[in-house]
Amino acid sequence: MQRMVLFLTVMFCPLVFTVQSMAHYGMIIPSDQIISPEDNKTVTLDLRFWHPMEGIPMPLAKPVHFDVTANGKKIDLLDTLQSKTVKDNQTWTSEYKIKRPGLYVFSMEPQPYWEPAEDKYIIHYTKAVVTAFGNDEGWDEPIGLKTEIVPLAKPFAQYTGNVFQGIVQVNGKPVPYSEVEVEFYNQDGTYHAPNDYLVTQTIKADSNGVFTYAVPKAGWWGFAALNPSDTPIKHDGQDKEVELGAVLWINFVDM
């Protein structure tokens, strides 16, 4: 019996740590977050569904919505998406030319992703913020997504080590004690976490839906606030849980 318990423990533990590390992230990574007059005015946007720390891909079907909200208007950019294959999985790219000063919030609503390992659907409402020509008004305002993170610090002007805070909202209302997953986009694959628990860090918002995190390393970081949807989706005739993710991507820079 002792040998059997030892065998099961050895066999099962790697699975536990593997599942621990597998956080899904919708991704929008702009080529630049701050556009100055001397910069290239065209922003390239990389859209993925990914495990950003480990570089493990998942296919991203063409999104339901891809928009930019700027100067009080929401513009449909879905037709600008170009399919791209990365690591044998479908991703998308887009280019957007900025013509006037303002704050540009790019957002994506993906098709529901069925995750058999978790027996549920995943929908990550994802956004990234770009500011142009010195006009950054409105960085702390929601854009009307089903769920989103409303930043309490400018999401395009952050030093490494800064404390970043955001409010988790669902249907426009703060979510007390929401769970927030935080992960580094390990673009070149050179960083290796010391253990699986540090691949994805999990924090909690407070009673007002506000979370706090200090970023330790320069680069792109994703914040994913996860909450269940009130509306299930059927899979093979049965109602299944839907995980709503409010995802915000921010580039932190060394001083």
Domains of the chain, each with CATH number or no CATH? 24-253 (2.60.40.1220)
Task: Provide the 8-state DSSP code for 28.
Answer: E
Q: Tens of pLDDT along 116-175?
A: 999 999 999 999 999 999 889 999 999 999 999 999 999 999 999 999 999 999 999 999
Indicate if the pLDDT at residue 40 is higher than 80.
Answer: no
pTM of the entire structure? Answer: 0.90
Q: Do the Cβ atoms of 199 and 24 come closer than 8 Å?
A: no
- Provide the 10 A C-beta neighbour count for residue 191: 11
Which pair of structure tokens corresponds to residue 71?
């100067």
Least confident of 13-17, 124-128, 153-157, 245-249: 13-17
pLDDT class of 6 with cuts at 50, 70, 90:
very low
- The pLDDT of residue 104: 97
pLDDT class of 37 with cuts at 50, 70, 90:
confident
pLDDT class of 72 with cuts at 50, 70, 90:
confident
Indicate if the pLDDT at residue 179 is higher than 70.
Answer: yes
How far, in Å, CA of 179 to CA of 228, rounded? 11
Measured at the CA of 122, the angle between CA 60 and CA 232, to 5 degrees, comes to 135
